[in-house]
Amino acid sequence: MFMAMEPRRLYRQVAEEIRALIDSGELPAGERLPAERDLAERFGVSRPTLREALIVLEVEERVQIRMGSGVYVCSRPSPAQPVLADDDSEGPFEILQARCIIEAAIAEEAARCATPEGIAKLDVMLREMELVLDSPVKALAADRAFHTAITDIIGNGALNRFTGLIYDSRMSSRYFEKLASYFESADSWRLALEEHQAIRDAIAARNPAVAADAMRRHLTQSQKRFSGSFGEEPARED
């Protein structure tokens, strides 16, 4: 089951509250923020939502995340340093949830109309991804190519463009890029490759239900991989 999501843009509200604590001096420069569990309880949000808020603040240079140590308040940015506008862009976990809903249905339909040519293309994408697991940029491009190749099987140009657009919202997101820098690795891409293989096999077997489940599992696991702790405490399964 995909993790439940908080109300839309909640991570932005939490970022604003932490930013206000920094601006007021309640959280002075150099101070380590409380543990993630404590902060999540204080603001009444999930830990993934809190991590999205911390990523916003790090991109703004308000905090510094030190893996294995914690999150620390930075010195106030100088006027020359750009501070992000308080926009209403989607957070990483919202993007993954949208992809889970949409791409599970696409995988289900692809399994109904799979052709040998379509499966052969998926096999090419899998082999290419296997060769670039140590390169984050190339692995991300290979990941996108695999997911859009599934849509190609259906032969619907609108769906293909839509799949590319929602995937590219991840690739163009500064917050997603920063989050990925902490949690993506050759090992995480290897797990994604194994999940891709399960999706491919279900589509090749022309089993719509299994294909949809395999896609949901893949994107749910992707979300979980982005949900590790920033602090010194080990991540806890909820």
pLDDT in tens, 170-208: 766 777 888 888 888 999 999 999 999 999 999 999 999
- 18 pLDDT above the threshold of 90: yes
Range 113-131 burial, b when 16+ CB lie within 10 A, else e: ebeeebbebbeebbeebee
CATH architecture observed for domain 92-225: Up-down Bundle (1.20)
Q: Where exactly does CATH 1.10.10.10 map onto the chain?
A: 10-73
Coil/strand/helix, residue 5: coil
Is-above-0.85 flag for pTM? no
Cβ-contact 106, 55 below 8 angstroms: no
- 214 pLDDT above the threshold of 70: yes
Q: What pLDDT, on a 0 to 100 scale, did the predictor assign at position 128? A: 96
Q: What pLDDT, on a 0 to 100 scale, did the predictor assign at position 1? A: 43
Q: How far apart (Å, rounded) are the C-alpha atoms in residues 234 and 228?
A: 8
Q: What is the mean pLDDT of residues 98-109?
A: 95
Mean pLDDT of the chain: 86
Q: What pLDDT, on a 0 to 100 scale, did the predictor assign at position 238? A: 43
Cβ-contact 77, 42 below 8 angstroms: no
Q: What is the 3-state secondary structure (H, E, C) of 135-173?
A: CHHHHHHHHHHHHHHHHHHHCCHHHHHHHHHHHHHHHCC
pLDDT in tens, 54-93: 988 998 889 999 888 889 999 865 554 445 545 556 777 8
Q: Which fold has domain 10-73?
A: Arc Repressor Mutant, subunit A (1.10.10)
The one-character DSSP state at 133 is T
Cα distances from 179 to residues 12, 102, 125, 199, in angstroms, run: 15, 23, 25, 25
Q: Where exactly does CATH 1.20.120.530 map onto the chain?
A: 92-225
pLDDT in tens, 126-161: 999 999 999 988 999 999 999 999 999 999 999 988
